[in-house]
Structure 1
Amino acid sequence: MRMRIPAKLAALSALSLFALAGLPACGGEGAKDATSAKDSGKGIKEGDKAPTFSIDSLNGQGKVAVAPGKVTLVDFWATWCEPCKKSFPKYQDLYTKYKASGLEIAAVSVDDEKGGIPDFAKTHGAKFPVGWDEGHKIADQYKPENMPSMYIVGKDGMVKHVHKGYHDGEEAEIDKEIKELL
């Protein structure tokens, strides 16, 4: 016999397990705003040197990397994260608009397993590099507080902007921030 768990209880259980694992919760409306990243004292903040990394892409788009000399949008996300489903198409629009100018996107999944990552990327229109942070080694360096958490890294390797969660309409602000750095 199959037991049905009410949706609210299932969601709370999933968030509780995620918190127990030491990983950030999903953040959308009501999540801390970008300015709080400057003062939170946790993880990478604006003005910090961005940890560099390079992992294989799971969607055939080369490497998922942060390297000096490039403006890079580093996005920590997960397949179970509802705001991540909204952010991917918006990030793809920015990638299409600024790729020729040198924008890179490094989308780093913090899922415990990599199985659903390529399908998520395809379903949500990602043609930018999407990779898997096996063992959460990269997330341990950045310490994102919400899913998604996005860091804009300048050509000098410094974190210029931090966005916690994803909020409808936020892409206009992100567009402006990227444009100023390219």
Structure 2
Amino acid sequence: MNKLSLKSTIVIISLLFIFAGCLKGSSSSSPFPAHSNTGQELNNAMHSGKPTLVDFYATWCPVCKVQSPITTALKQKYSPDKVNILEIDVDQYPGLLSRYNPEGGIPTLVVFDKNGDIFKIDIGLTSKEELESQINEVLNR
């Protein structure tokens, strides 16, 4: 093989491995929850008298894979008695995201106050510190 064809082969094989990791359902150790919350669960949470954080994600979304452990850490930090934290797979429940982000960008994180009103909408990767700040602000109102 000449140098050009060897380099091309290496690049193609590398790209195949990269894209194979991005395929929907290709990872057995998914960072996402086993259960995607439903619209009814969202409605119940919004009317519970507690702040609610909703993470709209898709399993094939690379940024969502980075966001998911942040959401999980917040679930561990905040008691379910004080804050509802839901994760909704937009592929399973496509109509829910369009209510809060008509453009459909993911991840979309929505913080609702104790009355179920929207406090903040973040689109894209959002830090744990930023989400904690939003949740704490709603808790202290």
Could you say which residue in structure 2 is the equivalent of 1:14? none
Aligned residue type for 1:155: K
Q: Per residue, is there more helix in 1 or in 2?
A: 2
Seen in structure 2, the aligned counterparts of structure 1 residues 146 and 7 have a Cα distance that, compared at 3 Å, is farther
Give the TM-score of the pair, scaled to structure 1.
0.50
Seen in structure 2, the aligned counterparts of structure 1 residues 153 and 78 have a Cα distance that, compared at 3 Å, is same
Residue aligned with 1:65, SS: helix
1:65 aligned to which of 34, 42, 49: 42
Could you say which residue in structure 2 is the equivalent of 1:158? 117
Larger radius of gyration: 2
1:177 aligned to which of 124, 134, 138: 134
Map 1:73-112 to 2 at 5 A: 73-111=53-91
CA deviation string 1:28-58 (max 9, x = no partner): xxxxxxxxxxxxxxxxxxxxxxxxxxxxx95
Matched-pair identity in %: 27
Give the TM-score of the pair, scaled to structure 2.
0.63
Residue aligned with 1:147, SS: coil
Alpha-carbon distance between aligned partners in 2 of 1:60 and 1:108, rounded to the nearest angstrom: 5
What's the C-alpha RMSD, in Å, of the aligned pairs?
3.2
Shift of 1:148: 0.3
Name stretches of at least 5 consecutive residues in structure 2 with no aligned partner.
1-11, 20-32
Alpha-carbon distance between aligned partners in 1 of 2:60 and 2:113, rounded to the nearest angstrom: 29
